[in-house]
């Protein structure tokens, strides 16, 4: 038994695409929150290291270098991490929009494959997205939305 009777205007593909879009938006929001936490951690650590250096009084050049090295190391670690996280959040947000509009199916598949690397929740989202987007009925819906296939009557 299907949740929507035939001819009701809904089918499982529309429902699944809508649910996937919402989960992509949630994933993008969670990644954005994680980016804020990473940035906050970097700011606090930078502040504490600099304050410790200022309160210590006169330092030799060796001690200053020893204190500045962790800051440089943090910059080389945190900045690429924030860039990758930002790229992932942007891809998930755009994929959610594209899923709702039934456009750019390949981009959503790319985002789903990338989400599989984010264990465990991203993996579940990525696999479900790949399964739904590879259905023939969903491919047909995307083709109709793109105008490359006439709607069935």
For the stretch 25-36, pLDDT in tens is: 999 999 999 999
Domain chopping of the chain, boundaries: 13-55+63-146
Question: Which pLDDT score, from 0 to 100, does residue 50 have?
Answer: 74
CB 112 within 8 A of CB 94: no
Q: Name, in order, each residue with C-beta under 8 angstroms of 102's C-beta and a sequence gap of 6 or more.
A: 17, 141, 142, 144, 145, 146
103: left (phi over 0), alpha (psi -120 to 50) or beta: beta
Whether the per-residue pLDDT at 11 is higher than 50: the answer is yes
Q: Which of 50, 20, 35, 37 lies closest to 87, judged by CA?
A: 35
3-class SS of residue 104:
coil
Please state, for a pLDDT cut of 90, what percent of the chain lies above it: 55
For the stretch 40-93, pLDDT in tens is: 998 888 888 777 666 655 655 556 566 667 777 888 888 999 999 999 999 999
Whether the per-residue pLDDT at 1 is higher than 50: the answer is no
User: Where is mean pLDDT largest: 11-15, 38-42, 94-98?
Assistant: 94-98
Task: Give the Cα separation of 130 and 133 in Å (integer).
Answer: 5
| pLDDT average, residue stretch 139-151 | 78
- Cite the beta strand spans of 33-148 per DSSP E: none
């Amino acid at each position: 038994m299907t949740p929507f009777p035939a001819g009701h205007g809904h089918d499982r593909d529309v429902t699944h695409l809508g649910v996937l879009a919402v989960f992509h938006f949630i994933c993008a929001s969670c990644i954005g929150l994680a980016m804020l936490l990473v940035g906050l951690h970097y700011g606090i650590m930078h502040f504490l290291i600099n304050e410790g250096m200022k309160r210590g009084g006169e330092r030799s050049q060796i001690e200053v270098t020893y204190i500045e090295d962790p800051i440089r190391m943090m910059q080389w670690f945190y900045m690429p991490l924030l860039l990758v996280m930002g790229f992932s959040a942007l891809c998930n947000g755009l994929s959610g929009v594209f899923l709702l509009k039934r456009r750019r199916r390949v981009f959503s598949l790319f985002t789903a494959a990338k989400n599989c690397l984010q264990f465990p929740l991203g993996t579940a989202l990525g696999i479900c997205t790949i399964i739904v987007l590879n259905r023939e009925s969903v491919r047909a819906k995307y083709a109709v939305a793109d105008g490359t296939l006439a709607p069935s009557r």
